[in-house]
Amino acid sequence: MTARAFASPDKGLEKASVDPQVLDWAQCLAAMPAARHLVESTTPKALRERLIALLCQGPGLVWANCLYLDGSGRWLGLDGSDAQFDCSDFGHPYAHVIRSGKSLSLSVRDARARLDCPAFQAQVAALDGQLRLQVRPLRAANGARTWLGALALVGESESVRALAHDEGLAALEALTCQLWHRLTQQQGERQRSQVLKDSLAKLNEGARRQALAERLAGDLLGGSAAMQLLRKQMVRAAETNLAVLVQGETGTGKDRVARAIHGASQRAQGPFMAINCAAIPETLLESELFGHEKGAFSGADQARDGLISQADGGTLFLDEIGDMPMALQAKLLRVLESGRYRPLGASEERRADLRLIAATHQPLRERIQEKRFRADLYYRLGQFPLQVPTLAERRDDIALLTDAFIADFCSREARPPMGITPAALRQLKARHYPGNVRELKNLIDYACAMTPSGGDIEAYALPGEQAPLGEALADGAPVVGEAALALTDDVIDLRQTLREVEAAIIRQRLQRFDGNRTQAAESLGLPKRTLAHKCRLLELDSK
């Protein structure tokens, strides 16, 4: 191969400088019209592929490969292959070239005999042993002489030997190295730019979600870890159109979760239709959901749209889905799968674009085993399951919830602002809440009603726990004879029991006299100061 194999017919490379340090792109392009398409490469990989295609057009060459050095500088890779060559392994010729910085030329037969790298041997296994291999180092002509990779050429012996002095190949190689280095830098800049862009996008998305979660905190109070996690999950749910199954004990606020998800979703401007499946008779539930045509049944004097139709473009919330009759479950499943439904008495199906949120306190898996709930509907409803924590799992939120409920009561009842004493708050935090947040709200409403205007809620204003002895004493009922013995069967700590009895009696008397300690003390036959002292000892006041 001669310089004319890669040079232009006019003038050629005889007058072009081929020193890699001073090589100019314009000179290269003027000297090598056949290589101009290399400049059109947009990535280092595309450049290498075009270089190999161009080289294989030269006379005498039967095989060519361009290896690239990876980011670690330790491995040489090959486009389109999983093969990797360790630069410290001298069992292949590429390591010799990279380490020495000089070209290496030997016959294929010698390469097979002298080099034992399995990956390299696999490369040359099908080549004729009479052919010659030349490996050339590729380095960028910058101040640091950056390593790029290696060029491997196989061809007829005389042709390959001539390549060592071929000015056209030298110019082509220099141009390739300059383009390669430039494209690598550009690719690195693009990657860094993309990483920065992705990072900013994640930060913005994270900030957006955090702001949305904080907005949800206005509807779902609580700074506990359980509530923070729930709000984050709700934000994720709001970003999708997946069916949401909200599970949790009674009184945990499942309906508020459903409304908050709707309000945070892209359907927020659409309708939010809700129905309690346990509160409507089975004979009416189907009509409420699917609607009916005029004359569909006795009493259907006119056509009526059901909630599915009314929720088109918005959200349908089915509370207590665990109590839905089996026959309706099959029809609801069809709506979820196809978006189609048929009103009672209608001859044609209709379509509805809605997002379904269902809630239940029922153990649905158990109801599936009992054949009272469809498994296929359960899995379709549970595309995005949410578990609302009990109040016992978020006791740290009781103070915040209490303040909110007090403010709500005062607003509704046009009462002046009031607070709650530390003793009363301690009592609230120590209670058992089978009714969860709803029970807490009812307790606060009662205590607010029992507290004189302008005062703070004290411990005596709170209803007692549902213990038999406490109930009897708080109600003022006489406890004598066998009844008294029955009530004391569970006594373990007599001193603590007497303390609870005394506290229950004093609380009941304070409630009877609207917190007037003078009247309560007189009714118990105690000096007022003694009653005040007992209130402090029993934590029935703020001190």
Q: Where are the alpha helices (DSSP H) in 217-244?
A: 225-238
Distance CA 65, CA 110 (A): 19
Angstrom distances, CA of residue 465 to CA of 462, 471, 475, 480: 9, 8, 12, 21
Residues 233 and 159 in one domain: no
Give the structural domain span for 18: 3-187
* Residue 411 falls inside a structural domain: no
Count CA within 13 A, CB hemisphere, residue 373: 20
**134 Cβ partners below 8 Å, 6+ apart?**
103, 104, 105, 152, 153, 154, 160, 163, 164
Phi, psi of 219 (to 5 degrees): -95, -30
* pLDDT at residue number 488: 53
Instruction: Determine if the pTM surpasses 0.75.
Output: no
- Pair (382, 279) in one structural domain: yes
Choose the final residue of a domain: 368, 389, 410: 389
What pLDDT does residue 20 have?
39
Task: Please calculate the CA angle 208-209-212 and round it to the nearest 5 degrees.
Answer: 90
Answer with the one of 389, 411, 442 that is the final residue of a domain: 389
Helices (H) and strands (E) in the chain, counts: 22, 13
Tokens of 242: 């997946």
DSSP per-residue letters across 324-342? S-HHHHHHHHHHHHHSEE-
Quick one: pLDDT at residue 32?
A: 52
How many domains, the chain? 3
- The angle formed by the CA atoms of residues 385, 388 and 390, to the nearest 5 degrees, is 150
In a domain, 433, yes or no: no
pLDDT at position 207, please? Answer: 67
Q: CA angle, 250 as apex, 245 and 254 as ends, to 5°?
A: 40
- Token pair recorded at residue 23: 């090589």
Phi (first) and psi of residue 93, to 5 degrees: -70, -20
- Strand ranges in 207-263 using DSSP code E only, listed in sequence order: 244-247
- DSSP class of residue 33 equals G
Is the Cβ–Cβ distance between 447 and 510 less than 8 Å?
Answer: no
CA distance 19 to 436: 83
Q: pLDDT digit of tens for each residue in the chain (543 aa)? A: 443 444 433 333 333 333 333 334 334 444 455 567 788 888 899 999 988 888 887 777 888 999 999 888 889 999 988 888 998 889 999 999 988 889 999 999 999 988 889 999 998 988 999 999 999 999 887 656 788 999 999 999 888 888 888 887 888 888 888 888 888 888 877 777 777 777 666 666 666 667 777 777 777 888 899 998 998 899 899 988 999 999 999 999 999 999 999 988 889 899 999 999 888 887 788 888 888 777 667 666 787 888 988 999 999 999 999 988 888 898 889 888 888 888 887 778 888 889 999 999 988 999 999 999 999 999 999 899 999 999 999 999 999 999 999 999 999 999 999 999 888 898 899 888 899 999 999 999 999 998 888 888 988 888 875 444 444 444 444 443 333 444 455 566 667 777 778 888 888 888 788 788 888 888 888 888 888 888 887 777 643
CATH number at 57 reads 3.30.450.40
Do 233 and 183 fall into the same domain? Answer: no
Looking up tokens 């979760």, which residue turns up? 257
CB < 8 Å & 24+ apart, contacts of 3-6: 3/166, 3/167, 3/168, 3/169, 4/168, 5/58, 5/59, 5/166, 5/168, 5/169, 6/32, 6/34, 6/35, 6/58, 6/166, 6/168, 6/169, 6/171, 6/172
Longest Cα–Cα distance of the chain, Å, equals 128
In a domain, 462, yes or no: no
Task: Say if residue 175 is in the same domain as residue 247.
Answer: no
Last residue of a domain, one of 351, 371, 389: 389
- What are the phi and psi torsion angles at 476 (to 5°)? 80, 15
Domain for residue 34, yes or no? yes
234 and 178 within one domain: no
117 lies in the same domain as 239? no
